[in-house]
């Protein structure tokens, strides 16, 4: 496959050209030259963009994603970082599931007032204590500083 200009990469990947330029500034992508005024990329950039997209969907920061590539551009994924992110996602799922269940209960609760419902009162106490995650700021996995 021949080299792709930035417009072709944007069309094939669904990633706007402005984002491609930003990713290049961040060191996530590297153009290989220009055709006129347009940046050129190797065809493998599409797979790299898919990996970046997957990382973003999983909640990784761009700095974390950048560390998932070796200097030569090949993926170099830290399995411990993946495991830590999976744990973070499990925690978030548990918190959101509890919140969903509480909202469903509150919507269907037969108590005359939500303030008279013991389950709703427990939800309020949990929110006040930070147990629902609403007021708690999460620490980055493995004690790393946030980026």
**Interval 13-29: pLDDT, tens:** 999 999 999 999 998 99
Sheet harboring 38-41: ordered strands across?
A: 4-5, 38-41, 33-35
- Please state, for a pLDDT cut of 70, what percent of the chain lies above it: 87
Which pair of structure tokens corresponds to residue 41? 């990329």
Domain contains 72: no
- Distance, CA of 124 to CA of 69 (rounded, Å): 44
Handedness of CA 26, 29, 30, 33 (dihedral sign): negative
Domain contains 87: yes
The secondary structure of residue 146, as a DSSP letter, is P
Using an 8 Å Cβ cutoff, are 102 and 123 in contact?
yes
**Given a cut of 90, is residue 91 above it in pLDDT?**
yes
Q: Are residues 56 and 85 in the same domain?
A: no
Q: Give the mean pLDDT of the chain.
A: 85
Q: What is the pTM of this model?
A: 0.71
**Given a cut of 50, is residue 7 above it in pLDDT?**
yes
Residue 58: which of 76, 80, 21, 84 has the closest Cα? Answer: 84
**Given a cut of 90, is residue 105 above it in pLDDT?**
no
Q: Are residues 62 and 92 in the same domain?
A: no
Q: Are residues 105 and 131 in the same domain?
A: yes
Tokens 């055709």 label which residue? 35
Domain of 55, in residue numbers: 4-66
CATH number at residue 48: 1.10.1660.10
């Amino acid at each position: 496959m021949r080299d792709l200009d930035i417009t072709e990469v944007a069309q094939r990947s669904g990633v706007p050209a402005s984002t491609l330029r930003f990713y290049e500034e961040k060191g996530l992508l590297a153009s290989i030259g220009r055709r006129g005024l347009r940046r050129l990329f190797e065809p493998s950039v599409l797979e790299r963009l898919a990996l970046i997209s997957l990382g973003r969907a999983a909640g990784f920061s761009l700095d974390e994603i950048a560390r998932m590539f070796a200097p030569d551009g090949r993926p170099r994924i830290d399995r411990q970082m993946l495991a830590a992110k999976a744990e973070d996602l499990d925690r978030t799922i548990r918190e959101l599931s509890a919140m969903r269940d509480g909202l469903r209960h509150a919507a269907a609760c037969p108590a005359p007032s939500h303030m008279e419902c013991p389950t709703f009162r427990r939800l309020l106490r949990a929110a006040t204590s930070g147990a629902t995650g609403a007021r708690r700021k999460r620490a980055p996995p493995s004690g790393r500083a946030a980026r």
